[in-house]
Amino acid sequence: MADFIEILAQQTEVLALIAVVVGVSVGSFLNVVIMRLPKMMQATWQRDCVELLRETAPAHPGGAPDESLVSKDSSLSLSAPPSTCPHCGHRIRAYENIPILSYLLLGGRCSNCKALIGLRYPLVEGLTALLTLAVALQFGMSWQLPAALLLTWALIALALIDYDHQLLPDSITLPLLWLGLLLSLFDIFTDSHAALIGAIAGYLSLWTVFQLFRLLTGKEGMGYGDFKLLAMFGAWLGWQLLPQIVLMATVAGASYGVLLLITGQQQRAQPLPFGPFLAIAGWISLLWGDAINAAYLQVSGLS
Ligand SMILES: [Zn+2]
């Protein structure tokens, strides 16, 4: 095993190959998380609502609400039931579930009913492989590598769930926030002092902007998930990288919003999820944040 790690440390090609194989496989799992986690959360909320109504309103005019209000997704989990074609219910067999390859071999269609399979699936697998490769090459064989990979994979799921549903699940952001604080004890990316201030500053900065924006416009421009996501980056990377993350995310988000307005694909009133831009900006800072800060300080003559 030690020899194997030794080889990996020296042979970039071997590390890169493993990164791509691991990346597409994790991407395949992320597709499941992105599709199912929001449905699972919704089913839980529905069940909680039914229970609450039963307890608080026994004399409900239409009778107490029953379980039929809970969606059929309530038995859904990340591991069961097995994947099926959403059009015909055809059970996806193991050889039809190989990342990217199966999509290409099947010509992007269900083997049973020939319905088109979303291009999203192979794209997420390819993206995950690409980002996994970038992280592996950036950090090499180090303690930072497994941590950075976990964060990268979580960010892919968060960004796409937020894009689809305007939702950043607590079940992903909060454990990662704690993990970031824990890693800081071992100085993996930053020290505990910077991580603690980062977590608090990350949350409070966006929370303050949110409250001011609501005071001025009466609208809610962000969600609480965005505050938690930035708190998470603060915990992982330290407060020093928060300004560049917010700046990059804001510029990218605003540019994208303007682009949508110009091309007429977005109505002004429609909210744009901020999470995907925060996730991209935070990921860039994870890999190159210190270099970006150093370059900025040099350009501005501060060091
Ligand atoms: Zn089908």
How much distance in Å is there from the Cα of 92 to the middle of ligand 1?
A: 9
CB-hemisphere CA count at 13 Å for 154? Answer: 23
What span, in angstroms and rounded, lies between the C-alpha atoms of 37 and 245? 26
How much distance in Å is there from the Cα of 109 to the middle of ligand 1?
A: 8
What span, in angstroms and rounded, lies between the C-alpha atoms of 102 and 276? 28
How much distance in Å is there from the Cα of 106 to the middle of ligand 1?
A: 12
pLDDT beneath 50, residues of the chain = none
How much distance in Å is there from the Cα of 90 to the middle of ligand 1?
A: 5
* 148-166 per-position pLDDT tens digit: 999 999 999 999 999 999 9
Q: Report pLDDT for 278.
A: 97
How much distance in Å is there from the Cα of 232 to the middle of ligand 1?
A: 40
How much distance in Å is there from the Cα of 158 to the middle of ligand 1?
A: 28
Long-range interactions of 296-302: CB distance < 8 A, separation 24+: 296/244
How much distance in Å is there from the Cα of 161 to the middle of ligand 1?
A: 24
Q: Report pLDDT for 168.
A: 95
Q: Report pLDDT for 70.
A: 66
How much distance in Å is there from the Cα of 240 to the middle of ligand 1?
A: 50
* 54-101 per-position pLDDT tens digit: 887 666 566 666 666 666 666 788 888 888 888 898 998 888 888 888
Q: Is the dihedral of CA 12, 13, 17, 18 positive or negative?
A: negative
Q: Report pLDDT for 184.
A: 97
Structure tokens at 163: 């894009």
In the chain, where the domains are located: 1-141, 143-303
